[in-house]
Structure 1
């Protein structure tokens, strides 16, 4: 019986009884005999520690050996995709940023690229806006991988790494706050460009970060790479080869750790990635150790991309010129946070009735998108993040559906864990780097 078959029917002495979410559990229990078979069924989660989020794993154990594993998702469901059907196209950015909360700028960029493709304005996106998108995504990739190495090390006993990883991530979040006004859930990348320009103080802080981070990566490797316990817990653990990855649609660092250099930034470039110099790190063992090495190498490659993006920044607009599409707020960050610039308020309120009408209409109704459907995929920290957007010609999406790598990659966990030890379930599951906000969107 499938784990997704939530409502099952049981025959009892009093008649038919319907159970919700319990049917799968009953079937698992009925097939085991703890006394004679020496097998037990254990719930791992749903709780945050060890299961890397609100994820439930149903394990059938024989001693400490995992005989069967079932992933149960949905505990963090927010209905974001459905909610977007009741908001205009611009407001969608504020919804999608909250899905994979460790990679919000990727959620926003993929969505914006899809809307721009529906509008047919890909060529109108300014060079500065495109460079800023690359800059922000690569900083976000670094911060996401830092969370991975910090939490995975903690789950395997290296508690001190939690401090170091989050310390450097905090530096990146401070950069985000300087640029967008927020540390997370930015709604910064929007259809047509970005919400506001990058201030000079943020550029200075980024350049400081580029000098700092290589030294910190060397510290991480000293703490982990030669540590006997770390090697024992990661090498030849959670093995999944390239054939298994392809069979289950697994992408990202997990696929690259199995030896396949598949990265959408190289194979299907977007945002001008084909004009940047960077490598796609790979490994051949397809285990937790390989995924660790790949992610550290990806941080180094992202640092190269951030440096190139900063050097490419040239003065210019950060939103398309078409005022029927461009979000009209002209946001500026002041001492009180984020708000409308005084010049813009003065113009729409006191100088131009047409600007005021347009501002009100765009804020309340949004813009219309021609009928059609598109799919856009980008390389997020966990793998291919795809957006299937459908428009019926109105001011709201008819349908927006995400191909979320956390959701797809989690189906590989049974293949990685069954036949191994229960302790290795933690290492293997963590090495997938699932973020349940994206999985349960």
Structure 2
């Protein structure tokens, strides 16, 4: 089923959102992975240029934060990994890191290094999905075109992640105290081989971002200033493309990132082209970090042995990770039971989509698709 994003455009009064304005619904697409859910943008258009925009979200809202309160610390992982379906492993991490912090638990080194490698492999997998669907500069409306070669490049990683977890999308591999089970025998060399396969094809996958036609089309479009990026709380590649030099893997290391060399990637232009450049660079960095982490995985225990009923002591903890799309945080409040009393989710996409109010005005209607595809988000991650 083709994915379509709907824009409701006010074509009446030139000012405000008054009742005298008529509505014109413009379906645009196809789009990239975010379009598995609904997002509506209320636009005011003047002379075929966007004058104002109001994002309307919530079409996929399922009350995940309330459902967290009725699940124990094993079951809640099932819900937590689903809001951003391209970062399932990283979504799981935030939950278990918060619980482990409150328990004062030390996770075995084998699990720490394996988690670090798997998180970076998941990052590369998600980045490749976006890179497989860039806007086509040759098309007047800049519609996205899926590149089968880039999708095929994801398969080596998909196979090794499936081999270790049993899943291709929702891995469910993290547990409080480590991993669900140990890495299969012979898995480490297979994972290294898969990463090398992806590395050999990554330049071709990123070639579209370096193509002159692509760069000429996107340069200067959808500029998000550093000040606006800070105001709207954007993070990840979108923030770093606007000059915000922030990466939790460097600034507040978790897992084994403190023992790895994580390069900083930043642009100052803040336009659609800069956002694509930072995303492509995140895939290259992810490959390097995953290989470095796999080389540090040593024999040993893969998890801490837990009681059948896991309870977390009374208190609070905030755990935040650097996901592909940006900061993914969980604020955990426990009253000493086997379920969270409160678990608040800070998703990366929600902050990123808010920034449309700042970066879309001034954009020609004909350039909406190229600009929207450069603001990386997943609709489930907006609505939770």
Alignment TM-score > 0.5, same fold:
yes
Gaps of 5+ in 2: 1-11
Query: After superposition, where does 1:322-401 map in structure 2 within 5 Å?
Result: 323-324=306-307, 362=308, 366-401=309-344
Aligned to 2:201: 216
Contact map agreement 1:386 1:402 (CA 8 A) in 2: yes
Return the match for 1:282 from 255, 260, 266. Answer: 266
Encode CA deviations 1:225-270: one digit per residue, 9 max, x unaligned: 1241x12331111111211111111111111112222000000111
CA RMSD of aligned residues (A): 2.2
- CA 1:107–1:46 in 2, change beyond 3 Å: closer, same or farther? farther
Aligned to 2:355: 412
Q: Distance in 2 between matches of 1:156 and 1:190?
A: 43
Contact map agreement 1:97 1:187 (CA 8 A) in 2: yes
Using the TM superposition, name which of 170-179 and 379-388 deviates more: 170-179
- CA 1:437–1:368 in 2, change beyond 3 Å: closer, same or farther? same
Aligned to 2:191: 206
Q: Distance in 2 between matches of 1:47 and 1:115?
A: 41
The number of residues matched between the two structures is: 365
Aligned to 2:95: 111
- CA 1:222–1:248 in 2, change beyond 3 Å: closer, same or farther? closer
**CA-CA distance at 1:215 after TM superposition:** 2.8
Matched, 1:192 2:174: no
Matched, 1:257 2:241: yes
Gaps of 5+ in 1: 1-24, 33-39, 325-361
**CA-CA distance at 1:49 after TM superposition:** 3.5
Moved over 6 A (4+): none
Encode CA deviations 1:295-351: one digit per residue, 9 max, x unaligned: 111111111111111110100111114x32xxxxxxxxxxxxxxxxxxxxxxxxxxx
Q: Distance in 2 between matches of 1:424 and 1:372?
A: 49
Using the TM superposition, name which of 79-88 and 380-389 deviates more: 79-88
> Please, what TM-score do these two structures have when normalized by structure 1?
0.78
**CA-CA distance at 1:224 after TM superposition:** 4.1
Return the match for 2:278 from 278, 294, 308. Answer: 294
**CA-CA distance at 1:157 after TM superposition:** 4.2
Larger-Rg structure? 1
Encode CA deviations 1:135-183: one digit per residue, 9 max, x unaligned: 1110010011111122233693462x53122212232221110000110
Aligned to 2:142: 156
**CA-CA distance at 1:193 after TM superposition:** 0.7
SS at match of 1:153: coil
Higher helix fraction (1 or 2): 1
- CA 1:156–1:207 in 2, change beyond 3 Å: closer, same or farther? farther
Contact map agreement 1:51 1:426 (CA 8 A) in 2: no
Contact map agreement 1:46 1:57 (CA 8 A) in 2: no
- CA 1:79–1:310 in 2, change beyond 3 Å: closer, same or farther? same
- CA 1:57–1:254 in 2, change beyond 3 Å: closer, same or farther? same
Q: Distance in 2 between matches of 1:65 and 1:266?
A: 40
Q: Distance in 1 between matches of 2:151 and 2:165?
A: 20
Aligned to 1:61: 45
Q: Distance in 1 between matches of 2:32 and 2:366?
A: 10
**CA-CA distance at 1:102 after TM superposition:** 0.8
- CA 1:316–1:400 in 2, change beyond 3 Å: closer, same or farther? same
Aligned to 1:76: 60
